[in-house]
Structure 1
Amino acid sequence: MAVYLPSTPRYLKVPLIILNVILWLLGLVLVIIGGIGVGFFSQFKEFREAAGVTDAIKSISVSVPAGVLSIGIFFMILTIAGCIVAYKEKMVGLVFYTVLMLVLLVVLIGIGGEALTYHNDDIEIEIKKNWIRISNSNESDEINKLESYFQCCCYDEEDYLLGHATICPKDINQVNLYNGTYCSDVIYTAINSKLYLVGSAGVAIGVIELVSLMFALFLIIRLYKTNAYK
């Protein structure tokens, strides 16, 4: 290894590369979570169209999963670049890498903290209001599709008492399949679990990223002092 690391101690360069590999894997996790989120919320596409998209619904069903997916892809590209500039000891590249990682660190901590503590009563009220309204309209098939996907019947007890169990999925004997399983419980359990995954991944990445930033800064200082940068 001494042949490949003539001017930089391996305790700065090699750990930085290893940390970037770990961060790349965590970035891949973000991409997977974002992809799952996009697929999950795509089930609400017809519901959003029938309900009319509000900012609250659009945020949770479109912006959040797409944002996580985009950040994951960008993060994977950045960590690959980090490995390259660290290995080749490129001062300018390390500076750009450090600045971009610092910005991304702030974004990830914000997203992670928000996802872990996220709770928006406005969204629940908005979905419930439109769920009941669509159940009463000629577009009630969209509700039936969601109930089939989530394996539930009626949004909540109020929805059930309004007589909307008639549009719930039925078996061959025309008996409701999921009586007693309300969609609000199923949907928000699924949403909260995905937000928890995003938050946990964001916090984990943020901690490891902070350590990698320290190594990158020390490496920049070492290269500057030894004039070994290119």
Structure 2
Amino acid sequence: MLTNSKQNLEKSIQKNQDKEFLQYLPLQIYREIAFTVPIPQGISDLPATIFFDISKQFTPDQVQKIQDTIKGVLFNWSLHLTQKWNNGFNNGVSQLADCTNTYAVKNLQPLRYFGVNVTDGKQATDLAMEQLTEVIKDNGFRRSQRARIDWIYTPSPITIQLPPTVIKTQTPLSMIVNVYQLQQPNVTVGLLIGSMFHAWLHRDGYDDPKVTNYFISECPMCVMRSYQPKKPNVPDSLFYKYFN
């Protein structure tokens, strides 16, 4: 959780500054980092870049780990869409969708979703990646508020979590990263990618609980396992303990 002083600073800005300021002018306690958006086959009208304001409290090594994690999430999103496109037939089943379909049976559609009923994990994955495409567009085209990556240090399972937001549409990809977990040698970039993937699914509107059979757990766990089947001797809790 953010410190009280930083919380008060955020509240003051929200109250006294207009949305244009929030969108385009970073605070002095942050610096901007940018990422090239990979272009999946069959997808157009994407921004060239997405942007984050990252806290200056992170060390260069920690920033690099966060950057590698964001790139990993973008790679999995892009790979899914390319495989689904299937050379123009748009009927493919991606590795991510195939894996998720095997395990996810609950909470298959996001909150505030009023479209066709989602009945399996494949459909849920397709929908979630479409939703993520819109979130990426909102960030890259500066339609959402600036996405901020805040610093926290706490010896706990908290890894990557989202600050609360009252915004229902064009929500920023802001997150809070626990440096304690970044420093643990057993917390690999692969685990961090799954943790961030889970967090971004929350921004898509998907809800917990973060346990077996629920889409918001099974989809990022597939990412953590590189789309491989589960092993009977490896409990799911070893993965979803990194979900916040």
- TM-score normalised over the length of structure 2: 0.27
Identify the structure with the greater helix proportion: 1
- TM-score normalised over the length of structure 1: 0.28
Q: Higher relative contact order by CA 8 Å / sep ≥ 6: 1 or 2?
A: 1
Instruction: Tell me which structure has the larger Cα radius of gyration.
Output: 1
Identify the structure with the greater strand proportion: 2
